[in-house]
């Protein structure tokens, strides 16, 4: 069974353009020797290549291409076994214009079905859909290096009771404005356990009630820390439905600690099954009516996905780390995230990208229009206090100095 691999790439420098005819000639001979057929389209500085042949030969060739310094921004779009070769020989198509005339040059056999993914990918490439959203920002925009000593956490009084559940704090940041927009409270047991471990042995109803009750501790902690930004808490759909007036109970807890609902973001995970959609919708409406800011958490990780978004438009969508990881070199994730961004833009929903760990991921997402981020690149969750935030130097303003490596409370809004 042949393997088909499709990628796009970009010439590393315009000076390589002169070498392209030679490159193409060489590639054609090499592919013939390897039993690889396919298609290479060049549009300006961009290439789209379809490689078909024995899996091992195709993969080895792709690895060599990805490592070739003349290419940059190599994005894998598709790699899977196919029932038959789409191309019986090797084709090269340089395209200097867009539209139907250019597409006629591509040897895609007539009579194929409309669901042909190769055709779809080729056409979207020729429409510019696989071009970078803007001149790629330099990923070398230096962060404080990983091995540099991190500034210590902000000094704080110890929590009142060390045996209680605790919260690890992780900020959501807006690097373009060098601002912490909110801080998420992640529940932890006394030994750092995740909430699921703490709730073991309880009935479902007890779990939901406990989940709701612990939010009071989060508000108390937020007050103790005197946080100058919004606070984000996690609430399961079950907890939201466990009592008829859960939203009002939550509001009472928040206000008892001086937190107006407009300064509280309630994150609801997409992953948890929403078995009672009508009641869930009512409970969320109550949250909105009480003035809470709502967010769908871990968007893209669960099964509800777009159907959840279709019936529940939150103020925020947090894109799950699984979609963010390695996005700068993963075509399907790029396509999905761009669609989610477009959708959220149209619906006026703010997007947060979760799980950012590398400058390359950050650069791609910023170029695509994401402004808010959460992840280890900026700050690690810290129990009992606000963790220090690392900022990219490209976002450093003129007043910035080494002292700005930590959270600047005066700039937090
Ligand atoms: Mn969350
Ligand atoms: Mn999350």
| Four-point Cα dihedral 147, 151, 153, 154, nearest 10 | -170
- The per-residue pLDDT for 338 is 94
Q: Ligand 1: distance of its center to the CA of 225 in Å?
A: 20
- The per-residue pLDDT for 271 is 63
Q: Ligand 1: distance of its center to the CA of 348 in Å?
A: 20
- The per-residue pLDDT for 272 is 64
pLDDT along the chain (413 residues), means of 10: 92 86 90 94 92 96 92 89 87 75 70 68 85 62 50 40 76 94 92 79 85 91 93 90 86 94 90 69 84 90 77 88 96 95 89 96 96 96 93 54 38 37
Nearest-ligand number for the alpha carbon of 295: 1
Whole-angstrom Cα distance, residue 52 to residue 85?
6
Q: Ligand 1: distance of its center to the CA of 351 in Å?
A: 13
Q: Ligand 2: distance of its center to the CA of 204 in Å?
A: 22
Q: Ligand 2: distance of its center to the CA of 6 in Å?
A: 31
- The per-residue pLDDT for 64 is 93
* Structure-block tokens of residue 233: 């808490």
Nearest-ligand number for the alpha carbon of 354: 2
Whole-angstrom Cα distance, residue 336 to residue 334?
6
**Pairing mode, if any, of strands 293-299 and 264-269?**
parallel
- The per-residue pLDDT for 397 is 40
Q: Ligand 1: distance of its center to the CA of 183 in Å?
A: 10
Q: Ligand 1: distance of its center to the CA of 234 in Å?
A: 5
* Structure-block tokens of residue 225: 């820390």
- The per-residue pLDDT for 405 is 40
Residues with CB under 5 A from ligand 2 (ion): 297-298, 354
Coil, helix or strand at residue 50: strand
CB of 294 within 8 A of CB of 323? Answer: no
Whole-angstrom Cα distance, residue 274 to residue 284?
12
CA angle 254, 216, 272 (to 5 degrees): 100
- The per-residue pLDDT for 276 is 72
Q: Ligand 1: distance of its center to the CA of 155 in Å?
A: 25
Q: Ligand 1: distance of its center to the CA of 145 in Å?
A: 27
Q: Which residue has the tokens 């994150």?
A: 267
C-alpha count within 13 angstroms, C-beta hemisphere, residue 42? 15
């Amino acid at each position: 069974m042949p393997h088909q691999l499709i990628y796009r790439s970009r010439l590393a420098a315009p000076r390589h353009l002169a070498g392209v005819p030679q490159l193409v000639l060489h590639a054609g001979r090499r592919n013939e020797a390897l039993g690889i057929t396919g298609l290479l389209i060049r549009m300006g500085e961009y290439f789209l290549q379809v490689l078909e042949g024995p899996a091992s030969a195709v993969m080895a060739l792709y690895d060599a291409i990805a490592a070739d310094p003349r290419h940059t921004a190599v994005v894998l779009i598709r790699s899977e076994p196919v029932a038959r070769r789409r191309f019986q020989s090797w084709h090269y198509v340089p395209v200097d214009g867009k539209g139907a005339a250019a597409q006629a040059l591509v040897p895609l056999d007539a009579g194929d079905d409309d669901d042909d993914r190769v055709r779809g990918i080729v056409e979207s490439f020729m429409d510019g859909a696989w071009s970078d959203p803007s001149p790629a920002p330099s990923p070398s925009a230096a962060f404080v290096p990983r091995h540099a000593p991190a500034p210590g956490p902000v000094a704080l009084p110890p929590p009142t009771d060390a045996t209680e559940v605790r919260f690890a704090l992780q900020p959501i940041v807006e690097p373009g404005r060098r601002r912490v927009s909110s801080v998420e409270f992640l529940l932890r047991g006394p030994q750092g356990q995740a909430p699921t471990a703490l709730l073991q042995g309880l009935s479902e109803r007890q779990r939901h009630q406990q989940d709701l009750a612990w939010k009071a501790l989060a508000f108390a902690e937020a007050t103790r820390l005197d946080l100058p930004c919004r606070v984000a808490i996690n609430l399961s759909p079950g907890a939201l439905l466990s009592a008829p007036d859960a939203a009002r109970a939550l509001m009472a807890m928040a206000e008892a600690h001086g937190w107006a609902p407009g300064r509280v973001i309630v994150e609801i995970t997409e992953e948890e099954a929403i078995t009672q959609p009508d009641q869930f919708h009512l409970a969320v409406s109550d949250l909105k009516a009480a003035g809470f800011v709502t967010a769908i958490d871990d968007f893209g990780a669960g099964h509800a996905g777009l159907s959840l978004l279709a019936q529940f438009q939150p103020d925020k969508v947090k894109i799950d780390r699984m979609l963010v990881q390695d996005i700068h070199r993963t075509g399907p994730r790029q396509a999905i995230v761009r669609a989610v961004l477009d959708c959220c833009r149209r619906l006026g929903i703010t997007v947060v990208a979760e799980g950012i760990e590398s400058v390359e991921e950050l650069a791609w997402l910023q170029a695509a229009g994401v402004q808010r981020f959460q992840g280890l690149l900026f700050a690690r969750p810290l129990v009992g206090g606000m963790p220090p935030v690392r900022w990219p130097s490209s976002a450093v303003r003129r007043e910035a100095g080494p002292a700005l490596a930590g959270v600047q409370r005066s700039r937090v809004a």
